[in-house]
């Protein structure tokens, strides 16, 4: 590893490589900025140097007050994190597809194998948080909605578990439950499950049974009860209008509530066979409208802390007319994300993708999130390369 002097690092900057305090102790990853608070804390602890692999490049962040006259280049290695996350997403989707297909063929579900893949997700989340939480972009044409939805729900459930400070074994349990929450739907004809037509009473009843089918399968395979209960209860609503048992409030397990919120959000922002996806901000607002009805208020707050007001991938209009897309968030400042600026106030495309760290003291602030139609229009104006 290369040793780097703290005094030579910009006060606000992203680094192209993982930064280590010592071997195997990661301080920050490429998705997380190095801020003055971290540098001051390290100096107080007596550290004068840190470590990084390779030849790290530091990209300074501009504030809203600097935005009008200052353009700072974003290093292209930011794309490397996105490519790694996409490849990892494909890998986990392949595993889930194989697991679902094996289940339909009567193969035994193996907790140890599934848990190992969940551990991989937990580790990948630590180093590629921003890329994995960009659910509107995290996609694959190689897998169906059920597979992709299962993987996305697992990622978000693990992220929410981190905010809740769940111990390691519970993070693994919630990850397993989320990864398998659609297992029971494999026993229902997909033409019925994803139909955009009016269903018969018998077909509606069969759909409401899929959590029960998943629960029974996990119980038969001797999975821990908390995992099986999460699958049974993830379609219950806190006001008692859900299924299969119509239970309310505190009778629904913590895991069940987490998977319910995570699954609903991921479904809202993902392309589905019969419905267009929402942007992250709109998806968040849709869930908040159901607070105390479908979803537990505390778990919605955890979702908000995890994704913030403007989730990663959200396109926003600034008060000066410029447009950016959220590239990183911080649960400590949920209203003030880090942006990659796309167009300036004259709708001129930024070739060098400046980074803007928003804050409440800025002259230029976020005005609002763009609608899905506006985002499509913006993307149509982006250069092809």
For residue 165, give every residue at least 6 positions away whose Cβ sits within 8 Å of its Cβ, in sequence order, or none. Answer: none
Percent of the chain with pLDDT over 70: 90
The gap between the terminal CA atoms of the chain, to the nearest Å, is: 34
Is a pLDDT exceeding 70 seen at residue 299?
Answer: yes
- Given the candidates 1.50.10.10, 3.40.630.30, 1.10.3210.10, 1.10.10.10, the CATH classification of the domain at 79-307 is 1.10.3210.10
Total-model pTM: 0.81
**Sequence ranges of the domains in the chain:** 2-60, 79-307, 315-380
Task: Report DSSP state, residue 9.
Answer: S
List, in order, residues 6 or more apart from 84 with CB less than 8 Å away: 128, 131
Least confident piece of the model among 29-38, 58-67, 75-84, 102-111: 58-67
pLDDT tens-place string over residues 216-228: 999 999 999 999 9
Residue with tokens 């209009």: 317
Q: Which of 14, 27, 35 is nearest to 359 (CA)?
A: 35
**Mean per-residue pLDDT for 94-107?**
95
Q: Residue 269 to residues 27, 37, 231, 250: CA-CA distances in angstroms?
A: 31, 34, 21, 28
């Amino acid at each position: 590893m290369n040793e780097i002097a703290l005094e030579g690092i910009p006060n606000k900057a992203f680094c192209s490589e993982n930064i280590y305090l010592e071997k195997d102790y990661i301080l920050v990853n490429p998705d997380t900025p190095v801020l003055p608070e971290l540098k001051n804390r390290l100096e107080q602890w007596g550290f004068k140097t840190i470590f990084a692999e390779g030849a790290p490049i530091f990209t300074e962040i501009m504030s809203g007050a600097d935005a009008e006259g200052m353009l700072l280049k974003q290093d292209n290695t930011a794309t490397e994190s996105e490519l790694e996350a996409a490849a990892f997403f494909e890998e986990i989707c392949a595993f889930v597809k194989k697991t679902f297909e094996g289940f339909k063929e009567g193969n035994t579900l193996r907790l140890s194998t599934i848990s190992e893949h969940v551990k991989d997700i937990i580790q990948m989340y630590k180093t590629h948080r921003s890329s994995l939480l960009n659910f509107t972009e995290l996609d694959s044409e190689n897998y169906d909605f059920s597979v992709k939805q299962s993987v996305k729900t697992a990622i978000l459930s693990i992220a929410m578990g981190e905010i809740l400070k769940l111990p390691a074994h519970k993070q693994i349990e919630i990850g397993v439950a989320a990864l398998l929450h659609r297992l029971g739907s494999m026993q229902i004809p997909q033409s019925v499950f994803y139909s955009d037509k009016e269903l018969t009473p018998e077909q509606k009843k069969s759909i409401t049974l899929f959590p029960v089918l998943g629960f029974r399968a996990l119980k038969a395979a001797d999975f821990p009860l908390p995992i099986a209960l999460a699958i049974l209860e993830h379609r219950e609503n806190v006001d008692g209008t859900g299924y299969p048992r119509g239970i309310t409030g505190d009778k629904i397990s913590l895991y069940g509530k987490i998977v319910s919120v995570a699954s609903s959000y991921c479904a809202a922002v993902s392309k589905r066979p019969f419905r267009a996806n929402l942007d992250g901000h709109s998806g968040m607002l849709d869930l908040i409208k159901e607070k105390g009805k479908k979803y537990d208020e505390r778990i919605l707050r955890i979702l908000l802390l995890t994704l913030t007001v403007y989730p990663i991938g959200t396109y926003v209009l600034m008060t000066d007319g410029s447009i950016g897309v959220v590239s990183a968030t911080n649960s400590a400042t949920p209203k003030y994300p880090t942006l990659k600026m796309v167009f300036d106030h004259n709708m001129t495309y930024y070739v060098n993708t400046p980074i803007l760290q928003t804050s409440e003291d800025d002259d230029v602030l976020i005005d609002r999130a763009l609608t899905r139609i506006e985002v499509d229009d913006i993307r149509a104006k982006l250069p092809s390369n």
